Every structure is written in structure tokens, then in C-alpha cells.
């Protein structure tokens, strides 16, 4: 006895296409806002969910194509009102408001619709959709649980403007056709929402306001013992946030590129945030407070964002080319010092970096389509050299403003060496 509705392939493919669009465009908005986000727990959560959502979008896109929908990436006109709504999400007035829009309006609406799709579609004829949605649903539920655990810690979590913005978005989503469409013009009632300027990523990534002001992440002297060497490596790791923000910004700033670029950039973003978390974790285990005992500073962005995102992409790609070699050496070095957790961090980081080199080259070709291979190599080398010179100059001229951090680092290292004598 059938309890589901009969649904032809054309209808199913349009529903699946619209789910793909929702996940893809909300992921792009999350990537854009992630750069601005000051909340450290919020930033880490977004990086992880950006990658999960990109994987979900990939599954939905593939299923849409299987359902005889041949133009899923170019035929955006059919969902243009929905896409316009989602592209305005990063205009939120605070971290709490942005997360509220994504996690109390968009994702719950998607969750409810995917459950309804499963309940109403033929489990044999449309079995591959059931498999795909069956993979997505638990991860989407996990994302919502992770948001709920975080939301209560955000200071502006329950403000009236956040509630009003969520109510406006709920009405707007329904007015433009909801999750399954068909796509509709939501009309003049929402003119103010669409009248807001297009979001542009800030010139440097947001950091927790409670963290100490800092100029640069690299300590102004060499480590004097193996424990300091561990700390220096971990500070470098913790500050890879800029490297997570760079692919995130690319995802937002470049619209309409080939889908694999976005999928890979989402993974790249999450990997770099994991590398930052490795440093945070190592330092926390040694008694260091993040952003207070050591700097957490977007110094790469502060130095080069005025040249455009392409320059940050070149710098990241240039630095990553030495990543596998450096991380494999660090793995050996830390193993010899019996820092097995640190060695394992470097081992997995090394594995991630090998993928990033190909992601970076593909993005450089997309951002600079006219550049020859020789020009890419020359421009990459030029900015890496310039960055190394910047670090040397700031150290030599005493511009590093590291003295306060160095006093705290030396104090923490002394405490650690006393607690764990060699």
C-alpha cells in the first residue's frame, strides 16, 4: 500500500536543484561572513559546517544531474529570487544575528523539507535520493545541535533585533517560494532587505575583541630550548586562521565559477582552521590562554588585502609549496623530542597540505586566467619574498610589539618546565 505521492522526474529534479541552491548559497554566505566573525567558537563552527555543507551540496548537485537536469550550474535564473535572499545574509548586524538567520531559519526549513521529501517520495523509484538525504539529515541535525550549544554563549544571542531579523527572513523565505519553490518575486514588502548593500569581506579577519592587540605572530627571537621550539611551532599553527579565511573569502567573492573550486575551497578552509585548532590545543595543554598569552593576529591580511584577494591567494599558495617538506621535518623533530601529540599534528597537517597545493593552483588559474605558468611562479615567489622581508624588517626595527607576549610566553614556559622537568 503506497503512502507516498506519485512524483515525476521533472518535479523531483526541480526540488533537488532548489535544495542544492539553498545549501550552496547559504554555504557561500557562511564563508563570506566567516571572515568577519569575531566569535572564536563561532568561527571554528562555521569552518567545519562550510565543508560539511559543501559536501552536501555536491551530493544534491550530483543527484539533480542524475534526474535529467542538465544545466544545474548555469541555469541560475530559475531560482534567482531565492539566491538574492541568501546572498544578503552576511549583512547581519552581529555574529549572533548571522548565526541566528542561518541556524534558526534557513537550516531548520531545509531540514523540515528534506524530511518531507523523504516521507513523500517513492523509496524504490527515487532510492538514490533517499540514500543521499539519509546521509545529509543526521549531519544537518548535528550542525543544529552544535549551534544550540554555542548560541547561549554569544552575548547578543537574544537581542530583539536578532529576533526581528529572523522573523523577517522567515517571511521572506516563504514569500520567494520556500525550500521547494517555485521561485517567486517576494515583492515590495521586502524592499528594505534587498536595498542593503552587497556584502564585501572586511580588509582583515575578525578576532575576539577580548584578545590582546598584536602586530605580528612570529616571535622576534629564535627559541632557546626544545620547549620554546614546541611553543613557536604551535603559535605558528594557531595563527593559520588567515589561511582558513582566504579560501572562505574566495568562495564568497567569486561567483559563478566551476563547482569543484568551491567544494575544494570549503575543505581547504576547514583544514586550515583545524591546523589553527591544533596549535590552540597544544598551547592550551601547556597552560597558554589563546589571544592573551600569545598573539592571534591577521597580519598577512593586514599587510596584503589592499592588493586584493588574489594577492592573499598567491601568498598562501607560495607558502604552502614548502608546507609538506616543512611539516614532514617538524614531525621528525617533534618525535625526537618525545612531543608525540605535536608530531601527530604535523603528520596530518602534511597530509592536508598536499591537497592544498592543487586547490591553490586551480584557484590561481581561475582568478588570473590570462597568466602564464611562468608568471604564476614569478608572482608567487615575489609575494613570498616580500612577506619574509616584512617579517625581518618588523623584527629588526622593533615594530613587532611582542614584548608583552614574550614576557607571558617565557613565564608559561618556565612554569611548564618546572612542572615537567626533562
- Please give the residue ranges that form the binding site for Fe ion (CB under 5 A): 240, 272, 275, 320, 353, 356
Residue 346 beta carbon to Fe ion: minimum distance, rounded to whole angstroms? 10
Q: Which of residues 107 and 275 has its CB atom nearest to Fe ion in the complex?
A: 275
Q: Is 107 helix (H, G, I), strand (E, B) or coil?
A: helix
Residue 40 beta carbon to Fe ion: minimum distance, rounded to whole angstroms? 17
Q: How many residues appear in the chain?
A: 422
Q: Identify the H or E element spanning 356.
A: helix 340-367
Residue 252 beta carbon to Fe ion: minimum distance, rounded to whole angstroms? 19
Q: Which of residues 25 and 320 has its CB atom nearest to Fe ion in the complex?
A: 320
Q: Which of residues 129 and 246 has its CB atom nearest to Fe ion in the complex?
A: 246
Q: Which single residue is written with the C-alpha cell 586562521?
A: 241
Q: Which of residues 219 and 360 has its CB atom nearest to Fe ion in the complex?
A: 360
Query: Are the C-beta atoms of 144 and 111 separated by less than 8 Å?
Result: yes
Residue 280 beta carbon to Fe ion: minimum distance, rounded to whole angstroms? 13
Q: Which of residues 126 and 240 has its CB atom nearest to Fe ion in the complex?
A: 240
Query: Are the C-beta atoms of 16 and 7 separated by less than 8 Å?
Result: no
In angstroms, the CA 252 to CA 200 distance is: 9
In angstroms, the CA 291 to CA 288 distance is: 9
| Residues whose CB is less than 8 angstroms from the CB of residue 34 and which lie 6 or more positions away in sequence, other chains included | 43, 46, 47, 50, 244, 245, 248, 269
Residue 278 beta carbon to Fe ion: minimum distance, rounded to whole angstroms? 9
> On the CB side of 328, how many CA atoms lie within 13 Å of its CA?
9
Which residues are paired to 290 by β-bridges? 294
Q: Which of residues 165 and 319 has its CB atom nearest to Fe ion in the complex?
A: 319
Residue 366 beta carbon to Fe ion: minimum distance, rounded to whole angstroms? 18
Amino acid at each position: 500500500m503506497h503512502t507516498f505521492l506519485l512524483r515525476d522526474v521533472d518535479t523531483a529534479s526541480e526540488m533537488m536543484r532548489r535544495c542544492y541552491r539553498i545549501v550552496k548559497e547559504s554555504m557561500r554566505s557562511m564563508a563570506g561572513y566567516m571572515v568577519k566573525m569575531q566569535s572564536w567558537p563561532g568561527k571554528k563552527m562555521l569552518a567545519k559546517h562550510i565543508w560539511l555543507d559543501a559536501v552536501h551540496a555536491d551530493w544534491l548537485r550530483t543527484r539533480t544531474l542524475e534526474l535529467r537536469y542538465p544545466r544545474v550550474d548555469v541555469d541560475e535564473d530559475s531560482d534567482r529570487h531565492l539566491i538574492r535572499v541568501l546572498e544578503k545574509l552576511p549583512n547581519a548586524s552581529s555574529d549572533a544575528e548571522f548565526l541566528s538567520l542561518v541556524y534558526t531559519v534557513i537550516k531548520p526549513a531545509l531540514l523540515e523539507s528534506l524530511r518531507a521529501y523523504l516521507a513523500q517520495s517513492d523509496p524504490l523509484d527515487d532510492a538514490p535520493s533517499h540514500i543521499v538525504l539519509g546521509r545529509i539529515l543526521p549531519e544537518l541535525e548535528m550542525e543544529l545541535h552544535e549551534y544550540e550549544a554555542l548560541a547561549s554563549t554569544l552575548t547578543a544571542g537574544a537581542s530583539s533585533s536578532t529576533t526581528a531579523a529572523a522573523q523577517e527572513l522567515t517571511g521572506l523565505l516563504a514569500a520567494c517560494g520556500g525550500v521547494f519553490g517555485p521561485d517567486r518575486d517576494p515583492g515590495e514588502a521586502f524592499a528594505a532587505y534587498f536595498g542593503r548593500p552587497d556584502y564585501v569581506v572586511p580588509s582583515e579577519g575578525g578576532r575576539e575583541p577580548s584578545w590582546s592587540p598584536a602586530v605580528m605572530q612570529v616571535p622576534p627571537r629564535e627559541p632557546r630550548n626544545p620547549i620554546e621550539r614546541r611553543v613557536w611551532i604551535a603559535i605558528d599553527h594557531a595563527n593559520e586562521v588567515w589561511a582558513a579565511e582566504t579560501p572562505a573569502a574566495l568562495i564568497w567573492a567569486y561567483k559563478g565559477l566551476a563547482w569543484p573550486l568551491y567544494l575544494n575551497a570549503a575543505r581547504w578552509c576547514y583544514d586550515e582552521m583545524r591546523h589553527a585548532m591544533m596549535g590552540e590545543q597544544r598551547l592550551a595543554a601547556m597552560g597558554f590562554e589563546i589571544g592573551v598569552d600569545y598573539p592571534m593576529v591577521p597580519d598577512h591580511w593586514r599587510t596584503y588585502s589592499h592588493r586584493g584577494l588574489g594577492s592573499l591567494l598567491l601568498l598562501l599558495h607560495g607558502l604552502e609549496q614548502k608546507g609538506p617538506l616543512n611539516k614532514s621535518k617538524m614531525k621528525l623533530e617533534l618525535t625526537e623530542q618525545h612531543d608525540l601529540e605535536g608530531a601527530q599534528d604535523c603528520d596530518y597537517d602534511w597530509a592536508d597540505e598536499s591537497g592544498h597545493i592543487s586547490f591553490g593552483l586551480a584557484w590561481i588559474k581561475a582568478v588570473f586566467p590570462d597568466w602564464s605558468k611562468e608568471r604564476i611562479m614569478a608572482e608567487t615567489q615575489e609575494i613570498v619574498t616580500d612577506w619574509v622581508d616584512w617579517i625581518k624588517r618588523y623584527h629588526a626595527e622593533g615594530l613587532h610589539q611582542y614584548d608583552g607576549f614574550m614576557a607571558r610566553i617565557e613565564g608559561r614556559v618556565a612554569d611548564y618546565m618546572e612542572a615537567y622537568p626533562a
